[in-house]
Amino acid sequence: MSTKVRVRFAPSPTGPLHIGGVRTALFNYLFAKKHGGDFLLRIEDTDQTRFVEGAEKYIIDSLIWLQIPYDEGPDSPREVQEKYGPFRQSERKYLYEDYAKTLIENGWAYYAFDTPEELDEHRKNHEEKGKTFIYNWHNRLKLKNSLSLSPEEVQKKLDDNEDYVIRFKCPQDEKLQLKDIIRGDIEIDSNILDDKVLFKSDGMPTYHLANIVDDHLMDITHVIRGEEWLPSLALHVLLYRAFDWKAPEFAHLPLILKPTGKGKLSKRDGDKLGFPVFPMEWKDPKTGDVSRGYREDGYFHDAVINFLAFLGWNPGTEQEIFSLDELVNAFELEKVHKGGARFDPDKTKWYNHQYLQQKDNEMLASKFVSILGEQGVNTNLEYASQVVGLIKERADFVSDFWELASFFFVAPDSYEEKAAKKQWKENTSEYMNQIADVIIGIEDFSSENIETVVKQWISDKELGFGKVMPPLRLALVGEMKGPHVFDIIAMIGKDETVSRLKKAVETLG
């Protein structure tokens, strides 16, 4: 590729960013970085009726949390904005009208004066006959527009400030040959297209016009976006032709499907099955409703990136764990799948589990220490790090640590009933008292040495491990779970071990 690759993520700030949107941002980022190009964030806020307070900040904060930085965006420094900015369409609105008028002058667009009521009437009449009303070549001369009215009538309406829209004049009887990097060649019959509105008399362009003008002015080379925009591709390609601009290449990413594989993944699926569909928590500014987010649910940003990358793409090898840099290297748009990508909440957890195993124990412990604080436990980072090292293989999230490790910090206050019945037999109390004495006598209190001494004692006494080890665990932990018993003993120390043994004898004996 000779020209520099430039791609953009162009969300509309109409609410929190769905993970499908995050994946679009990610694929744009990966493609840009793979080709040494630029990744832009452009806020498409031309539809003021759908504007939601806080949504733009949410989008930016999500990209920051996920660590997929853009090279140019609405909050970039002025030097960066100078050439291609501003990056908010509402701040570019002075630009679009001239472009719409150019299209009228060149015969590619026209004024339309049909009122919303008139259009509704047409729609209703069509519906009654079982048809759909499409504003295009087959009826445009029967409707109220600058193609059907005389130039004087049109001028009069404009002078009278009548409301109008500018519509694109879709060509008739043409087989449009479109290209999509992921989907290959697509042929569309131009006769099925409607004359889309490009500009409204309130001075605002519609998505279609603003999107094409901006992609052109921002030197965008590749448009990578969700499949829901595929139906707009023909119009967009025609707009480039109408302006006599070189069109970028297009790639439409597959939908993210519900866990059942049927239909698009929605917030409702997440609510029902208990997983987030947003990167971060979102509080609706109108209703105050809070939607959960991956960040607050304890997911690591790199795990989220990794599972999103695999929604609709894979490298064609067995490798599943990829850092962002590795993804940049491996990513190819040609390998993105055509079919929808089924979302699997268990797989997302699996990813978090894998990433948790790779994380530094001390970093994890620093998060754990604050959870411990909430439980009223004061501890030091070193001890907490060692505990984390012993239990993390069973954890998916830092929030699992307390459940998995509370006995490293506090003695059990009860003993699981079934286990107690099964493990605490007639002589158990006596054995536990004797083990307490053995433990008091151990000098080298490393896990290995405690194990050697205790096991030796069991053999010498010819007791069998089954009589001693399970009740020993029950006394220390309160139930039959946890890592290696001797690791627990070494960690909690001699006094605490002995005290727990005595307490169990008192309670269960």
Known catalytic residues are 267
Residue 260: partners with Cβ closer than 8 Å, 6 or more residues away: 342
- The 38-77 site mask, x for binding ligand GLU (CB under 6 A), equals ------x---------------------------------
Q: Shortest distance, CB of residue 229 to ligand GLU, whole angstroms?
A: 5
Q: How far is CA 353 from CA 322, 367, 368, 406, in A?
A: 14, 16, 16, 20
Q: How far is CA 496 from CA 411, 439, 441, in A?
A: 8, 11, 14
Which residue from 51, 229, 245, 402 is in contact with ligand GLU, where contact means CB under 6 A? 229
What are the b/e assignments for 413-425, b being 16+ CB within 10 Å? Answer: eebbeebbeebbe
Instruction: Decide if residue 10 touches ligand GLU (CB under 6 A).
Output: yes
* Strand residues in 23-86 grouped as ranges (E): 38-41
Contact positions with ligand GLU (CB under 6 A) in 129-188: none
Residue 206 and residue 498: Cα distance in Å, rounded? 75
Q: Are 184 and 208 in contact (CB under 8 A)?
A: no
Task: Please identify, using beta-carbon distances, which residue of 225 and 392 lies nearer to ligand GLU.
Answer: 225
Q: 3-class secondary structure for 391-459? A: HHHHCCCHHHHHHHHHHHCCCCCCCCHHHHHHHCCCCHHHHHHHHHHHHHCCCCCCHHHHHHHHHHHHH
- The 435-474 site mask, x for binding ligand GLU (CB under 6 A), equals ----------------------------------------
Task: Please identify, using beta-carbon distances, which residue of 248 and 340 lies nearer to ligand GLU.
Answer: 248
Q: Are 52 and 265 in contact (CB under 8 A)?
A: no
Q: Shortest distance, CB of residue 12 to ligand GLU, whole angstroms?
A: 4
Closest CA to 379 of 499, 491, 484: 491
Residue 137 and residue 193: Cα distance in Å, rounded? 9
Q: Shortest distance, CB of residue 225 to ligand GLU, whole angstroms?
A: 3
At 249, is the secondary structure helix, strand, or coil?
A: strand
Which residue from 211, 352, 428, 429 is in contact with ligand GLU, where contact means CB under 6 A? 211
Q: Shortest distance, CB of residue 286 to ligand GLU, whole angstroms?
A: 20
Instruction: Decide if residue 196 touches ligand GLU (CB under 6 A).
Output: no
Instruction: Decide if residue 302 touches ligand GLU (CB under 6 A).
Output: no
Q: Shortest distance, CB of residue 122 to ligand GLU, whole angstroms?
A: 28
Give CB contacts under 8 A, 24+ apart, made by 360-363. 361/385, 361/386, 361/388, 361/389, 361/392
Choices 5-13, 316-324, 332-340, 380-388; region in contact with ligand GLU by CB under 6 A: 5-13
Q: Shortest distance, CB of residue 239 to ligand GLU, whole angstroms?
A: 12
Task: Please identify, using beta-carbon distances, which residue of 18 and 500 lies nearer to ligand GLU.
Answer: 18
Instruction: Decide if residue 11 touches ligand GLU (CB under 6 A).
Output: yes
Instruction: Decide if residue 240 touches ligand GLU (CB under 6 A).
Output: no
Interface with ligand GLU: number of residues (CB under 6 A): 8
Residue 119: partners with Cβ closer than 8 Å, 6 or more residues away: 133, 135
Task: Please identify, using beta-carbon distances, which residue of 140 and 222 lies nearer to ligand GLU.
Answer: 222
Q: Are 68 and 31 in contact (CB under 8 A)?
A: no
- CA-based radius of gyration for the chain: 33
Q: Shortest distance, CB of residue 45 to ligand GLU, whole angstroms?
A: 9
Residue 432 and residue 437: Cα distance in Å, rounded? 9
Choices 9-17, 374-382, 464-472, 494-502; region in contact with ligand GLU by CB under 6 A: 9-17
Task: Please identify, using beta-carbon distances, which residue of 251 and 475 lies nearer to ligand GLU.
Answer: 251
Q: Are 494 and 443 in contact (CB under 8 A)?
A: no
Contact positions with ligand GLU (CB under 6 A) in 262-301: none
Q: Is 403 exposed, middle or buried (0-12, 13-18, 19+ CB in 10 A)?
A: exposed
Which residue from 6, 12, 333, 351 is in contact with ligand GLU, where contact means CB under 6 A? 12
Choices 7-15, 103-111, 256-264, 388-396; region in contact with ligand GLU by CB under 6 A: 7-15
Q: Shortest distance, CB of residue 322 to ligand GLU, whole angstroms?
A: 25
Residue type, 204: M
Contact positions with ligand GLU (CB under 6 A) in 480-499: none
- For ligand GLU, the binding residues (CB under 6 A) are 10-12, 44, 207, 211, 225, 229
